[in-house]
Structure 1
Amino acid sequence: MIIDYNLSRVDDVRHMSAYARERHGTEVTLIRADPSAVDAEICDEVIDLDPLSPDFVETAERLLGPRRAEFRAGVVFSDNAVQSGAVLLERLGLRIDSAELAGGAFCKHEYRLSEAAHHKLLAAQRLLVPDFVTVDSREGLADFARSHPDGFVVKPTKEGNNRGVVVVRPGDSLDAAFAEVGPYLEGGVICEQLLPYRREYSFDGLGQVSFVTEKVSATGRYPVEVAQILPARLNHAERSAVERAGRQVNWLVGQVDGPFHNEIRLSDDASGTAVVEPNRRPAGMKIWSLARWVYGIDFYHRWVDAAFGITAGSALPEPLCSAATVMLGVRTDRAFAPADVAPGATPFEDAVAATAAAHGLLPHELAVKEFAWLSPARRELHATARDNADFAAQGCVVLTAAGADMSEVVRTLRDAWPDALDASTGRGPRAQERAAAAPLEPTTMMEAAR
C-alpha cells in the first residue's frame, strides 16, 4: 500500500510499484485524493481518499479493515499523509514508524514545540532552538518584529517547496509580508527568528543509512532552493555536526526505519547547528536519484524492502562521482510554456556544453542525467523565484572529472541557462539580430506598413 504522493513524484511511484511486483510478488494499492488515469496505470488498485480529511483514518479503516490479511507492507509518501497515513498503517497492523510523533514532520509549529520541550537536551548537543510564535494578524507580526529587530522568517506551518516563506529584514514592509502569507492563515502561520548560520545541508537517507547533501539557496527575500549537490563538501567535524543534528531530529519525529530529509544549518566553525525543518519522506529535487548515481544505491528499492522488514547495512560505499540537481528559471518576469522552445532545440544540453567548455571539461566529464520541464502549461514566472514552483525546469548532471568543484560548475550552469533558454525561444540577442536582418515576407511588410 502506498499512501499519497506529490504529483512530481509519479515516476518514483511507478518505479516502486514495479519493484514491489518484481521483487516481492505483490500487487500495489494506492490511496490518494482525486487519483488520475496515470495512477490507475501504474498501480493495481486506486482508492480515492484525501489524507487531510478529518475522517480519513476512520473511512479508510472501514473500507480496508476487513481486508487486513491482504496487505503485507505499506509506505507513506507525502507530507500531507505523514501522520494520518501512519495511523492507518498502524491500525492495519503494518510496519511503520511512530504515528504519534509523525506530526512534527508535517507541522512546523508542532516540531518547534517538540524542540522547545527538549531544549536543554538539544542545547547540550549544540543545536540552537530558535524563538518562534504563531501569528494570525498583522499586529502579531508586528509584535514579533519588535522583539527581533534584526529580522525574522514568516512561513506557513504546513506547506512544502518553500511556498509562502518570506524573510523579513529591518526596513521591510510588514504589510507586504503579512499579505504574502495571507493565503496560508487558515492552515497556520509561524514567525521564527533568523537562524544565525549561513551554510545549509540536508541529512538524507533511509533507516540507519544516511548521507549529507549540500543545499544552494537564493539569498534575499525568498530563500528558495536552487540546487542540491552530492556529496556535500564537508570535513569530518562538519559532517559529524550535521549528522548529530539530523539524528536528533529523527528521534523527535519518530523516524526509525523509514525515509528522512532533515534540513540543517551549520555554523562556519562547525560548533553549532540549527534545524530548518524535518521531513519523514524521501527528499525532493531528485536527491535520491543523485544518491543512486553517486553511491550506486537505489533508495526507492531499499524503501520497499524496508516496508517488508528487509533492512540493509548502514555503511555507504565510496562515492563514484559528484552529482547535482539544478533549478532553472527565466531571465525576466514572463509567461512561459515549454511549447515556446523551438522544435529540436536542447537548451539544457546547450547550457551544460557551455559550462563544460568554461571549466575545461571534456564532454563525458560533465554529463546530463535528467531534464524535465516543471509543467507543460503556460505560467507566469518570476525572474526572482518565490518558491520551487516558480522555475521553468529542473536538470541533473554528473561530474566525473577529478579535482573539479561541482559548486562552481553549478554556478556556471545557472548563469549559462538563461542564454540557452532565450536562444531556444527566439528571445536571445543572436536570435533578435537574425530576425532584424531577415527580409520581410510580403504579408509581413504590409502588416508592418499598417
Structure 2
Amino acid sequence: MTRPILLIVDYNLSRIDEVRHLRDHAHEQHGAAVVLIRADPTEADRSIADEVIDLDPLRDDFAEMGEKLLGDRRERIRAGIVFSDNAVRSGAELLERLGVRVDSPRLAEGAFSKYRYRLAEAHVSELLEAQRVMVPAFAEIASLGQLRAFAREHPGGFVVKPVAEGNNRGVVVVRPGDDLMAAFAEVLPYLEGGVICEELIPYRREYSFDGLGSLEFVTEKLSADGRYPVEIAQVLPARIEEHERATLERAGRQANWLVGQCDGPFHNEIKLSDDGLRAAVVEPNRRPGGMRIWSLAHWVYGIDLHHHWIDTAFGAGTEVERLVPGCSAATVMLGVGTDRSFSPAGVTAGADPLGDAVRATAGRFGLADGELTVADFSWLSPERRDLHAVARDNADFAAQGCVVLRGDRTDIRTVVHTLREAWLDALDRALLLPTPVRKGR
C-alpha cells in the first residue's frame, strides 16, 4: 500500500456512524487509507477502518508505543484526528511525535480533566473576571469529610461530579438541606478517577459554543430541573440576542485558549446570566459535540463539518462564509413514563413511536405536512436495561431522535417539550406487553 494515511485516535462507540462518515470522505476525497487506534477493538471497529491498532489511549506510554507501532508507515501518515476525550492529550502527543499538525498536547489535559481545567481558570482568574466570565470555586475531594467542608463554605449549593466522565454520569446537584451522605454515595464509584466539588453557577440558561477552527456557532441546551441536570435536548439555532451571543463567544474562545484548541473541533458548555452579560464555562471539550450537534448543523446550516474536519486535517480546508440558518432542528432524548425494565425488543414490530409522537405534536400546533419531520432516530441500546422515569444521566433514556422544523409558526423549544410528552404515550402504545413497575424504586 502506498496510499496516504489518515490516523483516527479513538472514538466513543455511540459515534461509530460518524467514524464511518469520516472514513468514507477520507477514501473518496483524499484517496487515504484509514488507520484507527482503539483499546480492545471489535469486529465493528474493523468494519469502519482499513486497519485497527489495539492500544489504550489511557496508557501512560501510549504516545511512545503508538510511535513505535506506526514507525514503518511514518512517511505515509499525512493527517490525524483525535475523536475521544480519553485520547485528547495522549492522542495529540502521538500526532505531534509523528509530525502531523495537531492542536497543543500540553494544554489538552484541561479538555479531559475538569479539575485541570478549573486550575487553568484559577491561574488567569483576574483576566477571566475582567471579561465577565465567572470562575467557580472548586476543590478535589476524596472523603465525606471534605465534601462536608466544601458544603459549609458554600451553603447556597454546589455540584459534585467525577473529574473525567461524560454524558452527565455521576453529576449531582446538592442544594441546601440535601443529604450529603447520599450525594457522596452517588459519586463513590468515581473516587479512584477523581471527584470534585464546584460552586453552583447561578445562571439558569445553558448553551454550547461549537465549531471547528475559526468556524463557530452557538447551540442551545435544554436540561432537566432538579437533582439530575441531564440534557434533554440540543437545539439549533440558539435563540439569543446579539449581546448574549457576544458573551457566549467571548467565554467560549477563552476556554479554547486555555485548553489549546486552535484548528480542531470544540464543544464548550457554557451557562449564561439572565441579563446576558455574564457567563461561566461548565466544561470545555476538544471534540465535536455529542447528541448529533454536527448533524443539526448540517440540516440547519447546510455544512458538513465532518468533511470539513478531514479536509482541514489534510491541509485542504476552504474558507466558509458566515453560517445562516435555513430551518431549526433539535436532538431530543426520549425516556420512559415509569421506572421500568425496558428493551427495544418489547416494541411491536413495525411500530413507529417517534413518528406517531411527531404527528401528534404537529397536530397539536396545527403544522402542515412536512413542517415537522424526523431526521434521525436510534435506540440507545439494544439490551434490556433498568431505566428511571427521572433520568439520572444521558444513558438513562430509551432513545434519541432528531427532528427538523421548517417555517416559523411555532418555536422548536416548545415543540421539544410537547414531543417528549407525546413520545411517552406513543411508546406505551407500541409496547407488546406492559412491564410492571419495579418495586423499591
What range is the shorter-chain TM-score in? over 0.9
Aligned: 1:262 with 2:268: yes
Match of 1:318 in 2: 324
Note if contact 1:361-1:401 (Cα within 8 Å) is conserved in structure 2.
Answer: no
Which amino acid is 1:302 matched to? Answer: H
1:156-235 pair list within 5 angstroms: 156-235=162-241
- Give the letter for the 2:166 counterpart: G
Partner of 2:32: 26
User: What CA distance in whole angstroms lies between the structure 2 residues aligned with 1:315 and 1:217?
Assistant: 31
CA RMSD of aligned residues (A): 1.3
Question: Which residue of the partner structure matches residue 138 of structure 1?
Answer: 144
Could you tell me how far apart the structure 2 residues matched to 1:63 and 1:40 are?
A: 17
> Match for 1:401: what amino acid?
G
Distance in 1 separating the partners of 2:242 and 2:293: 22
Q: Report the Cα distance in structure 1 between the residues aligned to 2:317 and 2:132, rounded to whole angstroms.
A: 31
Deviation, 1:67, is 2.2
1:153 counterpart = 2:171: no
- C-alpha distance in 2, partners of 1:359/1:191? 43
1:63 aligns with 2:76: no
| 1:192-223 Cα deviation digits (max 9, x unpaired) | 01001000000000000000000000111111
Q: 2:292 aligns with which of 262, 286, 289?
A: 286
Give 1:427 deviation, angstroms.
6.0
Of residues 101, 110, 115, the one that matches 2:116 is 110
55, 60, 67: which is aligned to 1:54?
Answer: 60
Q: SS at 1:184's partner residue?
A: helix
1:96-107 alignment runs, 5 A limit? 96-107=102-113
Contact kept? 1:295, 1:316, Cα under 8 Å = no
| Runs of at least 4 residues off by over 6 Å | none
Q: Which whole-Å CA distance do the structure 2 matches of 1:195 and 1:357 have between them?
A: 38
1:148-202 deviation line (CA, Å, top 9, x unaligned)? 1111000000001100000011111111111100010000000001001000000
The separation in 1 between residues aligned to 2:339 and 2:30, in whole angstroms, is 49
Identity %: 66
2:387 aligned with 1:381, yes or no? Answer: yes
Q: What's 1:447 paired with? A: none
Q: Contact 2:346/2:433 (CA < 8 Å) preserved in 1?
A: no
Matching of residues 73-84 of structure 1 within 5 Å: 73-84=79-90
- Aligned match of 2:364 in 354, 358, 362? 358
Are 1:83 and 1:100, in contact at CA under 8 Å, matched by a contact in 2? yes
For the residue of structure 2 that corresponds to 1:324, the secondary structure is strand
Distance (whole Å) between structure 2 residues aligned to residue 90 and residue 118 of structure 1: 27
Query: Is this contact kept in 2: 1:208–1:314, CA < 8 A?
Result: no
Deviations 1:340-396 (A, max 9, x none): 100111001000110000011012000100000000000000111111000000000
Q: Does 1:336 align with 2:342?
A: yes
Q: Distance in 2 between matches of 1:125 and 1:315?
A: 27
> For residues 5 and 62 of structure 1, what CA distance do their matches in structure 2 show?
21
Secondary structure of 2:370 counterpart? helix
The residue identity in structure 2 corresponding to 1:313 is: E
Q: Which of 245, 253, 257 pairs up with 1:247?
A: 253
CA contact 2:157–2:176 (8 Å) conserved in 1: yes
> What secondary structure sits across from 1:292 in the alignment?
helix
Gaps of 5+ in 1: 433-450
Q: 1:426 Cα shift?
A: 4.5
Match of 2:3 in 1: none
Secondary structure in 1 matching 2:417: helix
Counterpart of 2:92 in structure 1 is 86
Query: TM-score, normalised on structure 2?
Result: 0.96
Question: Once the two structures are superposed, what CA deviation does each residue of 1:246-278 show, in whole Å capped at 9, x if it has no partner?
Answer: 011000000010000000000010110000000
For 1:446, the equivalent position in structure 2 comes to: none
Cα distance, 1:312 vs. partner? 2.8
Amino acid at match of 1:167: V
Measured in 1, the distance between the counterparts of 2:18 and 2:51 equals: 17
- Structure 1 or 2, whichever has the larger Rg, is 1
Deviation at 1:310, TM superposition (A): 2.3
How many residues were matched structurally? 430
TM-score for the superposition, normalised by structure 1: 0.94
Q: CA deviation at 1:317?
A: 3.3
Q: Once structures 1 and 2 are overlaid, which stretch shifts more, 64-73 or 351-360? A: 64-73
Counterparts of 1:317 and 1:141 in 2: how far apart (Å)? 45
- Per the TM alignment, residue 313 of structure 1 is displaced from its structure 2 partner at its CA by 2.2
**SS of corresponding position for 2:115:** helix
Which amino acid in structure 1 is aligned with residue 390 of structure 2? T
Q: Distance in 1 between matches of 2:210 and 2:381?
A: 26
d(CA) in 2 for partners of 1:203, 1:53: 30
CA distance in 2, matches of 1:65, 1:259: 27
Aligned partners of 1:271 and 1:36: how far apart in 2?
48
Match of 2:206, SS state, is strand
Q: CA deviation at 1:314?
A: 4.9
Aligned equivalents of 2:402, 2:253: Cα separation in 1: 28
Distance in 1 separating the partners of 2:341 and 2:322: 44
Q: Give the one of 401, 415, 418 matched to 2:407.
A: 401
